[in-house]
Chain A
Amino acid sequence: MQAETKTPRRGLVRWLLGGGLTASVASFLYPVIRFMNPPEVSEAAVNEASVAKVQDFTLNSGKIVKFGSRPVLLIRAGESDWRAFSGTCTHLDCTVQYQTASHQIWCACHNGFYDLNGRVVSGPPPRPLEEYAVHIRGDEVIVTRGAG
């Protein structure tokens, strides 16, 4: 008789103890996990920037320029033929470069090639490079995002 009355009470005590412990562990872990997750930092969105001087680029040359905090590959393909693309490969985020001999964009990490329209020619990149618009104002090269 005594055992019958004790069992549910013991179960309740166990449940309360277990539940209390679980809850306290969870209350310790939650702030730790939130702390480890980096906060979203709102970056001033750069949509247009003066990235270089015209005279810095010879014909059939290209280099990485700063577009806000991101790298952009700026290419001078002809006298007034300027192209700009996102500087990071769509495969695994390496920074690409312009190859003057083949007139192609190359990612050295996994040997991906893009043409001068940013389209994948060969290798593992899954998508084309994002293209930016380029305008010349005086001797300044202006790159604009979202207008490629």
Chain B
Amino acid sequence: MLAARENEKRGPLGWLEDRLGLESVREFIAHKSVPKHSATMWYYFGGITLFLFVIQVLTGILLLLYYRPTTAEAYESVQFIVTQVKFGWLIRSIHSWSANLMILTAFIHMFSVVFLHAYRKPREATWLSGIALLGLALGFGFSGYLLPWNTVSYFATKVGTDMAASLPVIGPPVARFLRGGDEVGGATLTRFFGFHVAVLPGITTVMLLVHLALVQRWNISVPPWVERQFRDRGREVPRMPFAPNFFLRELMAWYAALAGLGILAALFPWELGDKADPFAPAPAGIHPEWYFLAPFYTLKLIPSNVWFIEGELLGLIGFGLLAVWWVCLPFWATDRAGQVKTRLVTGAGVFLLSYLAIFSALGYWQ
């Protein structure tokens, strides 16, 4: 009787809180805290990536109102969006720019996890789910790139699917599955559209929930040197409340990301290019999106045949081994005594970052 009167006082919100059992959520958030130290700023990049993903979903839904996934209409429908629909140019530009920024912040998040050694026990599964999310983000990038059906997207898809085809045994059926036939064409566009707006968002949502649940389960990691510093001083690592302290800081980071996104989308609207023509040669200076530039340039450098292996196959084997080595990082980073080989991991991180930066730059300029 007393509780009912209290709810009446609190109005409909109080009623909703009671019915949904939000009291426990409120309790949980009130007790949640985040470590506070010199490297805390790197914690924000995961949240920024999530924020950009939400922007992707929202602008993607808006684009769906006009986009038509056929070779006859895809290019024209995007052209219609950017020239005829009110703010169409802005929505499309924000979608393209936030896709790129999301991959950038996902990479920053991944490398910050490496350099802060946040992958170590018991967070191996968090690392693996994060890597899966990065792979899904790249899948979003690859599938979405084809949708405007322009020249660069057409050839990028040809190259990408042909790389898959060069894998022994499984390659040709995988390439056929991706293309929806033997060549890149209308069937490929329909498939990529399906992957982009249904399959990948579904898998990503599940994986994102897993990732966030794991972050929640094991809390945010404190870098080993920070732990050491405070242990030597005989003190605990200071923490700040998640709400409002950390969340408001994260909110500021989101606003900064939104401001950057707005500036980029308004001042550098994403170009549409020319409509894809399967009977036109690949134009000079063609290159993929920046996040595929490093493998693109590496494939340029590998000769046609190395010993008895075809160059492209050798490149693919190399990329595959590199990916497996990177995915397994938490497992080779720890010795039998459970000690983390921080120097080795930092060196590996610097090596991979240097490779990606240098080869991407060369791929862009050469």
- Which residues of A come within 8 Å of B, CB atoms? 36-38, 41, 64-66, 69, 71, 73, 87, 91-97, 107-111, 120, 123-127
Contact = CB atoms under 8 A, between A and B. Distances in A.
Contacts of B159: 92-94, 109
Given A92-B159, A92-B163, A110 B300 contact: yes
A71 B177 contact: no
Interface residues of B, number: 34
A66 B281 contact: no
Q: Which of A38, A87, A123 has the most CB of B within 10 A?
A: A38
Q: Which of B158, B176, B183, B279 has the most CB of A within 10 A?
A: B279
A133 B304 CA distance: 26
Interface in B270-286: 278-286
B173 interface: yes
Given A41-B181, A69-B183, A125-B304, 9 more contacts: A87-B279, A94-B282, A95-B155, A109-B155, A109-B159, A109-B282, A123-B300, A124-B300, A126-B312
B354 interface: no
Contact of A66 (B177, B279, B304): B279
In the A-B complex, the 8 residue pairs with the smallest Cβ-Cβ separation, listed nearest first, are A97-B281, A93-B162, A94-B282, A108-B282, A126-B304, A92-B159, A92-B162, A126-B310
A66 B280 CA distance: 10
Given A65-B279, A93-B162, A124 B302 contact: yes
A38 B180 contact: yes
A110 B299 contact: yes
Contacts of A41: 181
B303 interface: yes
Nearest to A125: B304
Contact of A38 (B161, B187, B312): B187
B192 to A, nearest CB: 13
Contact of A94 (B158, B183, B311): B158
B285 A120 contact: no
A120 B311 CA distance: 14
Contacts of B162: 92-93
B178 to A, nearest CB: 10
Interface of B: 155, 158-159, 161-163, 166, 173, 176-177, 179-181, 183, 187, 278-286, 296, 299-300, 302-305, 310-312
A124 B310 CA distance: 9
B311 A124 contact: yes
Given A91-B312, A92-B163, A94-B159, A64 B279 contact: yes
Contacts of A92: 158-159, 162-163, 166, 299, 312
B146 to A, nearest CB: 14
B300 A38 contact: no
B155 A94 contact: yes
Contacts of B163: 92
B177 A37 contact: yes
Contacts of B299: 91-92, 110, 124
A91 B176 CA distance: 17
Contacts of A96: 281-282
Nearest to A96: B281
A37 B176 contact: yes
A110 B284 CA distance: 10
A45 B282 CA distance: 25
B180 A71 contact: no
Contacts of A94: 155, 158-159, 282, 286
Nearest to B156: A109
B304 A123 contact: yes
A124 B312 contact: yes
B348 to A, nearest CB: 28
B55 to A, nearest CB: 30
A96 B281 CA distance: 5
Nearest to A95: B281
B27 to A, nearest CB: 39
A27 B224 CA distance: 50
B337 to A, nearest CB: 40
